Amino acid sequence: MASSNILKFCLLLSAISLSRTWALNSSSHMKYSQNSSSIGSICKTTPYPDVCFDSLKLSIMINISIEISPNINTFLLYTLQIAIFESEQLSNLLLDAGNSDNIIENQTGTIQDCQELQQITMSCLQRSVSLIQDDAPIKQRKLADAITYLSAALTNKNTCLEGLDSATGPLLPTLLSSIDYTYMYVSNALSILSSQKSHNKRRLMDMGAPTWISKKSKRRARTLKSEYDPSRVLTVAADGTGNFTTITDAINFAPNNSSDRTHIYVKQGIYEENVEIPSYKQNIFLHGDGTDATKITGNRSVGDGWTTFRSATLAVSGNGFLAQDIYIENNAGAKKHQAVALRVNADFVALYRCSIIGYENTLYVHSFRQFYRECDIRGTIDFIFGNAAVVFQGCKIISRFLTSSQFTVITAQSRDSPDEDTGISIQNCSIVAEEDLQSNSIRVKSYLGRPGREYSRTVYLESYITNFIDPTGWMQGPNNDDEGSKTLYYGEYDNDGPGSSTDGRVSWPGFMIFLSTSCQKRLQKAFAKPLERSEGHLNPQMMMKDNKSPPNLAGSVMYLQGDNEGRSYPTYSDHVQVIDSISQQLNQAYKSIEVEAMTAMRRLEFAVELGFDRVVLRVT
């Protein structure tokens, strides 16, 4: 708080020093009045309008004094700059907290979590400033990126506070106050930024590579053969036949902040280690020998004193991470409560043909943009949870029996603000139960999801659901009341299987099950038999003539492919167009997950193509 007062005092001195120039300008008072009115209209829709107005009115005096006409971008940048200043002070406070007994942790990793997440928040704020400072209006792609960064920053705040909830110590009240105050500016910046989405429409039909892929990577995607150059691969082998015997050693050896991909091949074996990929280890590709051969296991849990965030067997904070053919497990057991197998708080992350196994809180899709293709995910309660913009395609999602509980829940999405671009989209997946849960489904109720926070968003579409799911479908969260059911967004469309009937579903205002007739026809036309069903679950293959095995595309609907008879399959642009219509038809009052998460998916599929050269088959 004191640091904020110092900043404001300095700004006020600047304004006073320029006041003579301002006074000489006969139109300055009128401009001040006009801009005050503009600030009032901008700030009144933010989460913290008083904080917004008090900070922005200082910027009016400075900008008018130096003859700059403020606009919404000016106010947005000013808000972000204050957020950066406050974040720097908070980082220093967290550093002090970690070097003293002023904060007493009751869970291992509490302060470390906050420190690491705060550094990621700083990066998010700085990147947001760089995206918007030269554009008015902000271009749609930059706008989407900045909203993603600020959404992740707010998720970092909540995760830090969750850990501090069990902490004690004399510095704790000051630390909590500093966190709340700092993130008021982040929340306001996100609100101002999100208000520009309606004024800057972009068609989602562009099939060109996204801006985050370098020209070198694009050339590589067009010309590289299916095999990697062995001399450029780091090999991990538990038996000592590789470059390293542990995955952690290979990660540590990988270059920092690399724009080139680092390929790490993990040979068959069981690797009992907690692997952390920090934010400065970017573009890592982890490739195994298959989920039955290459296994990473750990056993950290909340029951043993770790934070949920720090309990992960594999923790990914480095952007551009890819993984293929790897088994990731937290084997702490059902009695140890939250125990994460995989945690991802990084942007442009994709996993292909991986198994993610645990009990409670198996997969922590913490933040940013993520894509999972043909993965097995197994757990008991809230076993897919977090606040990322995440898409699951062709995955097998398996609920496990928990003898100590009367229920199981698949998802717990934690969107905390209507301005965040986050949510869970589950498409063309199979939703099944282990045999012992299936046989006890009358006694143990199972649900598709429950809200982790007030604005939770989850959508199931075109998936196969077995009859272990309770007819109500969805469960209220532990802190949810009738008001909470109005702000969440849960959707089901065109699912099948004995558990897919929506006749007995919850009647919450935020639950959607219908589409207009015209939108249904468009969906049916664009996706006529895109996937085959086999043995009660989805077989992620496109239909082809004479049941021939199709190209195994790690992204399924990326390209318009044709067979010898001239038939074609739906492209991803078809998908985006239909999803766009779905979101508009369902309810204009809710910002549905399909459009925003599918936009993330389009980018992530390019990442899959670039990293998974062995499985991308180009039809000539």
The answer on pLDDT for 415 being more than 80 is yes
Position of tokens 């996993």? Answer: 351
pLDDT at residue 538, rounded to an integer: 31
Candidates 418, 408, 493; CA nearest to 453 is 418
CA distance 160 to 349: 22
CA distance 535 to 526: 25
The answer on pLDDT for 592 being more than 80 is no
pLDDT at residue 38, rounded to an integer: 76
pLDDT at residue 581, rounded to an integer: 40
The answer on pLDDT for 412 being more than 90 is yes
C-alpha atoms less than 13 angstroms from C-alpha of 512 in its C-beta half-sphere = 29
pLDDT at residue 135, rounded to an integer: 65
Give mean pLDDT, residues 573-589.
Answer: 37
pLDDT at residue 558, rounded to an integer: 25
| pLDDT digits 0-9 by tens, 122-148 | 999 999 999 988 766 778 888 989 999
pLDDT at residue 406, rounded to an integer: 84
Position of tokens 């800057």? Answer: 200
* Domains within the chain, CATH numbers bracketed: 2-199 (1.20.140.40), 266-611 (2.160.20.10)
| pLDDT above 70 coverage of the chain, percent | 68
> Greater confidence, 148 or 219?
148
Give mean pLDDT, residues 70-74.
Answer: 77
| pLDDT above 90 coverage of the chain, percent | 57
Give mean pLDDT, residues 448-457.
Answer: 94
When mean pLDDT is compared across 34-38, 55-59, 252-256, 364-368, the lowest value belongs to 34-38
| pLDDT digits 0-9 by tens, 307-318 | 999 999 999 999
- 382 catalytic residue (yes or no): yes
> Greater confidence, 209 or 389?
389
Bridge partners (DSSP) of residue 195 are none
pLDDT at residue 37, rounded to an integer: 72
Q: Which residues contact 556 (CB under 8 A, 6 or more apart)?
A: 373, 393, 394, 428, 530, 531, 540, 542
Say which of 113, 347, 382, 419 is annotated catalytic. Answer: 382
Mean per-residue pLDDT of the chain = 77
pLDDT at residue 70, rounded to an integer: 61
When mean pLDDT is compared across 185-199, 383-397, 420-434, the lowest value belongs to 185-199
pLDDT at residue 560, rounded to an integer: 24
Q: Would you place residue 297 in the very low, low, confident or very high pLDDT band (cuts 50, 70, 90)?
A: very high
> Greater confidence, 27 or 473?
473
> Greater confidence, 210 or 167?
167
pLDDT at residue 536, rounded to an integer: 33
> Greater confidence, 403 or 33?
403
pLDDT at residue 571, rounded to an integer: 37
Give mean pLDDT, residues 276-286.
Answer: 96
* Count of Cβ atoms closer than 10 Å to residue 504 Cβ: 10
The answer on pLDDT for 248 being more than 60 is yes
The answer on pLDDT for 510 being more than 90 is no
The answer on pLDDT for 208 being more than 80 is no
Give mean pLDDT, residues 504-525.
Answer: 66
Orientation angle between helical segments 28-43 and 72-98, nearest 10 degrees: 60
Q: What is the DSSP letter of 26?
A: T
Orientation angle between helical segments 49-65 and 172-194, nearest 10 degrees: 70
Q: Which two tokens stand for residue 2?
A: 């004191």
What burial class does residue 331 get, using C-beta atoms within 10 Å of its C-beta: 0-12 exposed, 13-18 middle, 19+ buried? middle
Q: How far is CA 300 from the centre of its chain?
A: 23
pLDDT at residue 460, rounded to an integer: 94
Name, of 72-86, 155-169, 503-517, the range with top average pLDDT.
Answer: 155-169
When mean pLDDT is compared across 8-12, 196-200, 340-344, the lowest value belongs to 8-12
Name, of 36-50, 442-456, 509-523, 537-551, the range with top average pLDDT.
Answer: 442-456
> Greater confidence, 214 or 582?
214
Give mean pLDDT, residues 155-160.
Answer: 98
| pLDDT digits 0-9 by tens, 420-430 | 999 999 999 99
pLDDT at residue 33, rounded to an integer: 56
Please say whether the beta carbons of 507 and 442 come within 8 A: no
